[in-house]
Structure 1
Amino acid sequence: MSSRARILAVCAVPVVALLVTAAFAPLPFSVAYPGMTANVLGDDKGKPVITITGADTRETSGQLRMTSIVATGPQASIHLPDVVTGWFRTDEAVMPRDAVYPVGESTEQIAEHNADQMKKSQDTATSAALGHLDKSAKDVKVKLSLADVGGPSAGLMFALGIVDKLDGDGAGHDLTGGKNVAGTGTITADGKVGAVGGVPLKTQAAHRDGATVFLVPVKECAEARAELPDGMRLIPVTTLGGAVDALKALRTGGDVPSC
């Protein structure tokens, strides 16, 4: 063996060792998958998702589905092969663990944080919907109930559900037009819709559960288009009012925004 070959062989040993170590060392990532969806106009675990008192409500048809993702837990060991596999699959996403679990490390801390975010999301969704309809929270009481779901990303769909139950499209029709409409997005009390993350996985969850229309925060259009399921129509939104107008136009054949 030449001296050059011996040098290369010696150098290769630590490189191989490094690669083996990297392959089996835990990495700071989580792997996410399409999660559950729920029709906010219907029931969850035998209870209405939206209960309204102090105002007349409508019987609705069609569906407004909130969407979610599920991810490996904060203590899960994710290794290089998991990351490589996730990069090449459309039904998985590899995400920095801190992006999925930004607060705390224990399951209890994370559950508490997510529950708090969900409660705030429900409160702002109620404020946004009642404000859109020029109704007072003193007169109209809204209770939102959705088990085993945390985080703020259902805000838009909660707000749309409240609007549909109270007013529909304002002309006696359902906002959904009888369709199965899904979506995601945070919402502020004044009706602004914000980005959420994990949109490609959420469109897959929506498609799996029969949705044909997906409302997406406008800043996440490109991400949503990249892995859009066949037959799914994307509608970009920036505000609650814009989402309501888009659904009205969809039902009547009007001009509907697209990504």
Structure 2
Amino acid sequence: MRRRGLTVLLGALLTLLLGWQIGRADVPYVALSPGPTVDTLGAVNGSGDTCTDPATPAPSPPPSPEPACQLVIQITGAPTTESKGQLRMVTVSVQSGMTLLEAIRGWLSGEDAVVPRKLIYPENKTEQEVEQENKQEFENSQTSAETAALKFLGYQVQVAVSQVTAGGAAEGKLQTDDIIESVDGVAVTSPQSLLDMVRAKPAGTTLRIGYARGGAKSTVDLVSKAADDGSPRIGVGIKAVQPHPFELRIKLDKIGGPSAGMMFALGIIDKVKPEDMTHGKVIAGTGTIDDEGRVGAIGGVPQKLHGAKEAGATVFLVPAANCAEAKANVPDGLTLVKVGTLDEAVKALDALGTGGPLPSC
């Protein structure tokens, strides 16, 4: 009997030891959890943490190596306003290098998601390469947010000539810094729209180009020429310009991906407009944005909803394409508002103040 009991005990200990070792084994999964949120109307320090009082200057010398607090959206050369509420962008934290026990805890969690590692880090890319791509997407989202916000505020994108190609159709007719305004009477609204209109007709087509030079408007006829690949060209390099009477800069590091674009754009508009677009509420949201102000879908919706709730938000702006997923995961006390464009997002914020109907998911 004693020998049998000892055998059972040893077997149990070996089972526990084996289970413990298996639980510590790495698995090819990553965990997605609610990440930090940032008020685009507020300020952060060098670590990306929110500053409690951005108006207070840093002591000199500073007690720590962290830089002083600085506004996320910095506008100089024009009056700005302060809002009583917040416009918070939300993020997702990614935990890689998971063990089986950590994966099980994630699967059982109501906030986290455990997904195959290759969905976040493709096998043909390193973690560093993915992080660099995310950083670039984040920077691009800031640029698009600035463009969309300025257009909303009335500062339209202009397409300027950056160079004239020798021997090209525009040589001797257009000059550097000319603003191309139309092609055959159709307005040019972006560099891409100009390219599309030129390429819509075969090489050898006469195009009437409307342009402005030094404020004076004129037109010129250009006969497009075929490039080496056969595509029609008018022989100019172009760049987008968007004149506005103030300097605008977004300063936020250590975050990646394009999903903060809409909230950056709303933050810019709120700072410039005299009205308090937040109406004293903590409003969170997510969504990519392009130069035309279209709001696009994002990933990590459940985690971002929980992150917003933890940050005290009561309203969450959701890209229209993410509404179904958001409805299935919304925490209690968080109102979902569906938006498809920047204009719709601004109108939704206005409705929060007037008590008007909100576009719900």
Alignment equivalent of 1:50, drawn from 69, 73, 77: 73
Query: Per-residue displacement from partner, 1:77-99 (whole Å, max 9, x unpaired)?
Result: 453x5444433321210123233
What is the CA distance between 1:163 and its match in structure 2? 0.6
1:227 aligns with 2:329: yes
Distance 1:216 1:156, change over 3 A: same
Residue equivalent to 1:9: none
Residue equivalent to 1:185: 287
Alignment equivalent of 2:89, drawn from 24, 42, 66: 66
Gaps of 5+ in 2: 1-20, 46-68, 157-241
CA contact (8 A) 2:23 2:99 kept: no
Residue equivalent to 1:156: 262
SS at match of 1:161: helix
CA–CA distance in structure 2, aligned partners of residues 161 and 99 of structure 1? 31
Query: Per-residue displacement from partner, 1:95-117 (whole Å, max 9, x unpaired)?
Result: 232332358213x3233222111
Query: Per-residue displacement from partner, 1:151-192 (whole Å, max 9, x unpaired)?
Result: 11110100000010111xxxx421111100001111101101
Residue equivalent to 2:140: 120
**Greater C-alpha Rg:** 2
Q: Could you tell which deviates more after superposition, 95-104 or 115-124?
A: 95-104
CA–CA distance in structure 2, aligned partners of residues 133 and 151 of structure 1? 25
CA contact (8 A) 2:337 2:358 kept: yes
Question: Percent identity over the alignment?
Answer: 45
Distance 1:143 1:84, change over 3 A: same
Paired letter, 1:90: G
Gaps of 5+ in 1: 1-20
What is the CA distance between 1:23 and its match in structure 2? 7.5
Paired letter, 2:33: Y
CA–CA distance in structure 2, aligned partners of residues 98 and 239 of structure 1? 32
CA–CA distance in structure 2, aligned partners of residues 70 and 229 of structure 1? 18
Alignment equivalent of 2:297, drawn from 195, 215, 219: 195
What is the CA distance between 1:135 and its match in structure 2? 1.9
CA contact (8 A) 1:199 1:224 kept: yes
Residue equivalent to 2:116: 96
CA–CA distance in structure 1, aligned partners of residues 23 and 71 of structure 2? 47
TM-score (normalised: structure 1): 0.82
1:212 aligns with 2:314: yes
Query: Per-residue displacement from partner, 1:51-99 (whole Å, max 9, x unpaired)?
Result: 11343222222100000010113xx1453x5444433321210123233
1:87 aligns with 2:87: no
TM-score (normalised: structure 2): 0.60
CA–CA distance in structure 2, aligned partners of residues 227 and 127 of structure 1? 32
- Counterpart mapping for 1:130-141 below 5 A: 130-135=150-155, 137-139=242-244, 140-141=246-247
SS at match of 1:36: coil
1:33 aligns with 2:33: yes
CA contact (8 A) 1:90 1:227 kept: no
SS at match of 1:129: helix
What is the CA distance between 1:194 and its match in structure 2? 0.8
CA–CA distance in structure 1, aligned partners of residues 99 and 247 of structure 2? 45
Paired letter, 2:336: L
SS at match of 1:138: coil
CA–CA distance in structure 2, aligned partners of residues 144 and 155 of structure 1? 11
CA–CA distance in structure 1, aligned partners of residues 120 and 291 of structure 2? 24
CA–CA distance in structure 2, aligned partners of residues 121 and 62 of structure 1? 23
